Structure 1
Amino acid sequence: MDDTLDILKKALATLDEGFADLPAHAASVDIVALDAVLQEVAVRLQDNYPYFHPLYAGQMLKPPHPVARLAYMLALHVNPNNHALDGGRASSAMEKEAVAALAAMFGWTAFLGHLTSGGTMANLEALWVAGRLAPGKTVLASSQAHYTHARISAVLGLPFEAVPVDRFGHMDVAALEKRLERGDVGTVVATLGTTATGSVDPLPEILVLREKCEFRLHADAAYGGYFGLAENLGNNARTAFDCISAVDSLVIDPHKHGLQPYGCGCVLFADPSVGRFYKHDSPYTYFSSTELHLGEISLECSRAGAAAVALWATQRLLPLTRGGEFSGMLTQCRSAARSLYAKLAADPRFLVGLAPELDIVVWTVRPELRASARAIFEEAARRGLHLALAELPGAFFGLATPTVTCLRSVQMKPEHADPAWQEMLWALLSEATAAVMQHPPG
């Protein structure tokens, strides 16, 4: 930590040189009071799970890269606002460059896009544009898609329907086709990496249906988008990512696998002309430049320029290319998930169904053992291993019950591929399970 703070101090000195011609100015700060408050904050923040540690393997929480943290803190000394160039000239330029790199990762050179405060806002903008192009028409997404699509559709006044999934968590293409034949569908959302299981919808087949039924196709790749760079995807995921450039819009969350602090999402449109829907006039924010302001192509107004600076710096250090260091991290995460899945599948206490397509693993305890997933979740946490719980269709595990409570692990830290961490995680899980089985609920 000391080394990175020295780097920040050096960068701050360089930043100050750019404003050396200004009259001397120093803000008045009570250092003693400041120190006391920060110590109090540090103590309060101890009331958290250790999201940064490899033994936190539950929810989608990945620590920001040091370069992202430092660049964000550096930018805060200017505190730019990327709504208008007047509020963030350098950070706006860096946002455009960073977004262009994301678009290039998906095969787009002509596009419209910008950063958002997260995937929810990015998906809202994509469905807002879809609704402007097909007013009042239905939005379809799978029953395993993120709940935000139903909620956003309600906010936008668009009808929403969920399409069933198959036993692998993919949108059921036959069910989708049957619904499309009834008509009045404006948009289909394909999820490339569902939140619960990481399942990837069969995008090639959905693209074939678009040719027949003429709907707008949006890809929610908020979680899984970066995995197109991974070297070890299975066939379904690989073919989906290989044709993602054919969708009409997509979202990706750099604050998930992109190593960024919250919040940093991104929305991209294949057709730049959709920018016409954002057109507005402002009497006070656009004086200094005739160039495109990011505020002219986003629903959000004030946005943290520091988020753009952090993303730009991260992509500068870790380019979005296959075979590079960043790509290798994603490959490691998928390898870790496959390794955990193999251990679970070989253990007679557990029941697995869905093989991980990305880096999310789900499993449950065999019903006859009378050891609940929730009890194991709590016992594992007492031993320092933090997992998650999910309520999923029983069919995913070959069970006749409508739903089953299962354990879930997101293997999204590269350390999870390290054999030493794998063995520690497995030992803690196994011990927690054994402890629960010794004292099953009465």
Structure 2
Amino acid sequence: MQHLDDWEQSWGTFARHPSLSAAPARIDDVFDRYLERLGGNYPFHHPRYAGQMLKPPHPVAMAAYMAAMRINPNNHALDGGPPTSAMEKEVVADLAHMLGLPKETLGHLTGGGTVANLEALWVAREQHPDRGFVCSEAAHYTHTRMAKVLGVRMDTVPTDAHERIDLNALEEVVQKGDVGTVVLTAGTTGLGVVDPIADAIALCRSHGVRVHVDAAYGGFFALAAQRDDVPPNFPAADFAAIAEADSVVIDPHKHGLQPYGCGCVLFRDPGVGTVYAHDSPYTYFTSDDLHLGEISLECSRPGAAAGALWCTLQILPLHPTDGVGAIVHTCLEAARTWAAAVREASALQLYMPPTTDIVAYAPRIDGSAADLNTASRGLFERAMTDERAPIFTSLYQVPAERATKHLEGVTPVHADQVSVLRSVLMKPEHRSYAASIVDRLNAWAEA
């Protein structure tokens, strides 16, 4: 931070107020206790952790974030952080370009996917205040919750055999003429499934309905869709179709290697900026250029998040075969390696082939859905509590009737919902470790 040191020298140093001081011994004591408590976390950085959507940010992102925190810029207004505001506009343009959206796309970073989806649905409501929303039963729960916050009806339609939004059911709803926006998902948080976005957008357009794509989890897989070596069961055409959506949400704090929280909302039509129109008598005075706060529901937002993402993308660009593209492609390969190992395992079976980098599987049993539920939970707990080298997975609830269609030897009795195991392979290191981890899970399942 030599520039900041030069600035302090040119403007003169000053004495910190004594009220900001703390005794060194007290600081040491607090941090010793703090670090001890942090030790209670699971090893999110390790390949043996394949439970939830958690991964460490890239060291470049951490360093850039901490460097900016010495200044603590606020990207709400240009005078709160002129350099990081410019960086935010650049990375937003990069994300829009990655998704194929037009150059004039309007957008900004947010505190995460929930806030980003709230903004997208808020704009959707303002554009069609007399119409409702539609999403699938596999969409993230935030959409139904945000619809309640906005006071808008949200119709939920069933999914097909592949856990995607059912197009026939969707058509029945949108043809009634009272739907303003359909929410499609590019990477469900349950199974990583991608809705048939290309066909769904065509359907919505034929009925004059807007489309919002929630790509919070799967958006960066758009880079994989641009490669020649697309992996099996990967819906490249649907990722390409995201470019036709009216709004898109993507989370750099997932596959973008960023610290929490860093989401992003993008709008194809820059004219939606008028929806945000407001005035502040003390904020937007340092420049005639657009301030990010003028197109955001959030006010204070960390400039450090924009700086961290900018530095990361300078080093790991959004390129299909390099940088972030190479990383997410390796995660896709990891999921297919994991799935292949499950297929070969004697005591495990695949729930369904992975679409992105999430794999669902279950113990191989011959019994009821209740027995499957017990076996899945038992294997989950056995793996997580192993004293030598625990393996962290997660559980996913599915309807018992659907489980019996995907899994052999299971009868749909004594249970409405059953648990299967779920592994999120969002670290590229998972590709090297996938087969050996499944081998250990299989050994425990056999026992």
Unaligned stretches of 5+ residues in structure 1? 1-11, 436-442
- Which residue in the other structure is 2:425 paired with? 411
The 1-side partners of 2:96 and 2:89 are apart by: 10
TM-score, normalised by the number of residues in structure 2:
0.91
- 1:220 aligned partner, one-letter code: D
- In structure 2, what is the Cα distance between the partners aligned to 1:18 and 1:320? 34
Equivalent in the alignment of 1:391: 397
CA contact (8 A) 1:216 1:248 kept: yes
Distance 1:335 1:14 in 2: 43
1:202, 1:236 within 8 Å by CA — same for their partners in 2? no
Instruction: State the distance in 1 between where 2:234 and 2:205 align.
Output: 20
Q: Which residue of 1 aligns with 2:171?
A: 177
Which residue identity lines up with residue 433 of structure 1 in the other structure? A
SS at match of 2:95: helix
Deviations 1:165-206 (A, max 9, x none): 011111111111111222211110110000000000001111
Render the CA deviation track for 1:139-182: whole Å, top value 9, x for unaligned.
Answer: 11111000000000000000011111011111111111111222
Cα distance in 2 between the residues matched to 1:240 and 1:98? 23
Report how far residue 32 of structure 1 moved: 3.1
Does the CA-based 8 Å contact 2:345-2:439 persist in structure 1? no
Aligned to 2:112: 118
Match of residue 438 from structure 2: 426
Cα shift at 1:235: 5.8
Is 1:104 matched up with 2:97? yes
Distance (Å, rounded) in 2 between the aligned partners of 1:148 and 1:400: 33
* C-alpha deviation, 1:18, in angstroms: 4.0
State the distance in 1 between where 2:444 and 2:4 align.
51
1:313 is aligned, of 300, 311, 314, to 311
Q: 1:424 to 1:367 in 2, by over 3 A?
A: closer
1:319 Cα deviation from its structure 2 partner: 0.7
Which is worse superposed, 193-202 or 225-234? Answer: 225-234
- Per-residue deviation, 1:233: 4.1
Give the Cα separation in 2 of the matches to 1:233 and 1:194. 18
User: Is the deviation greater in 210-219 or in 364-373?
Assistant: 364-373
Specify which of 137, 147, 151 is matched with residue 143 of structure 1: 137
Task: Kindly indicate whether residue 103 of structure 2 is the aligned counterpart of residue 86 of structure 1.
Answer: no
Which residue of structure 2 lines up, in the alignment, with residue 439 of structure 1?
none
- State the Cα distance separating 1:315 from its structure 2 match: 0.6
Deviations 1:8-36 (Å, cap 9, x if unpaired)?
xxxx3454234431211354453332222
Partner SS, residue 248 of structure 2: strand
Code of the residue aligned with 2:190 in structure 1: it is A
Report how far residue 349 of structure 1 moved: 2.2
User: How far apart, CA to CA, are the structure 1 residues paired with 2:208 and 2:231?
Assistant: 30
Out of 5, 9, 14, which is 1:20 matched to?
9
After TM superposition, the structure 1 stretch with the greater mean CA deviation from structure 2, 396-405 or 223-232, is 396-405
Q: Measure how far apart 1:234 and its partner are.
A: 4.2
Q: Distance in 2 between matches of 1:278 and 1:234?
A: 42
Matched ranges for 1:15-414 at <5 A = 15-25=4-14, 27=16, 28-108=21-101, 109-230=103-224, 231=227, 232-234=230-232, 237-368=235-366, 370=371, 372-383=375-386, 384-394=390-400, 395=402, 397-398=406-407, 401=412, 402-414=416-428
Encode CA deviations 1:289-313: one digit per residue, 9 max, x unaligned: 2211111000001111111111111
Residues 232-277 of structure 1, C-alpha deviation per residue, up to 9 Å, x if partnerless? 3446620101121100000000000000000000000000000001
Q: Which amino acid aligns with 2:375?
A: S
TM-score where L is the length of structure 1:
0.92
Which whole-Å CA distance do the structure 1 matches of 2:9 and 2:48 have between them? 46
- Provide the rounded CA distance (Å) in 2 between the counterparts of 1:208 and 1:272: 22
Relative distance call for 1:158 and 1:400 in structure 2 (3 A) is farther
User: Any idea what SS the aligned residue of 2:352 has?
Assistant: coil
CA offset at residue 368 of structure 1?
1.9
2:208 & 2:84 partners in 1: Cα distance? 38
What SS does structure 1 have at the residue aligned with 2:9? coil
SS at 2:337's partner residue?
A: helix
For 1:351, what is the secondary structure of its paired residue?
strand
The answer to whether the 8 Å contact 2:233/2:353 transfers is no
Separation of aligned partners in 2, 1:380 and 1:136: 51
- Which AA in structure 1 matches 2:424? V
Count the aligned residue pairs. 422
Please state how far the C-alpha of 1:403 moved relative to its aligned partner. 3.1
Instruction: Kindly report the root-mean-square deviation, in angstroms, between the aligned alpha carbons of the 2 structures.
Output: 1.6
Aligned partners of 2:8, 2:313: CA distance in 1, in Å?
27
Contact 2:213–2:249 (Cα < 8 Å) also in 1: yes
Q: Is the 8 A contact 1:136 1:157 kept in 2?
A: no
Per-residue CA deviations over 1:13-71 (Å, capped at 9, x if unaligned) read: 45423443121135445333222222211111011111111111010001100000000
Specify the code of the residue in structure 2 equivalent to 1:376: L
Give the % identical residues.
48
How far residue 400 of structure 1 moved from its aligned partner, in angstroms, is 6.1
Segments of 5+ residues of structure 2 without an aligned counterpart are none
Q: Which 10-residue stretch deviates more, 212-221 or 321-330?
A: 321-330
Instruction: Give the Cα–Cα distance (whole angstroms) in 1 for the partners of residues 82 and 109 of structure 2.
Output: 15
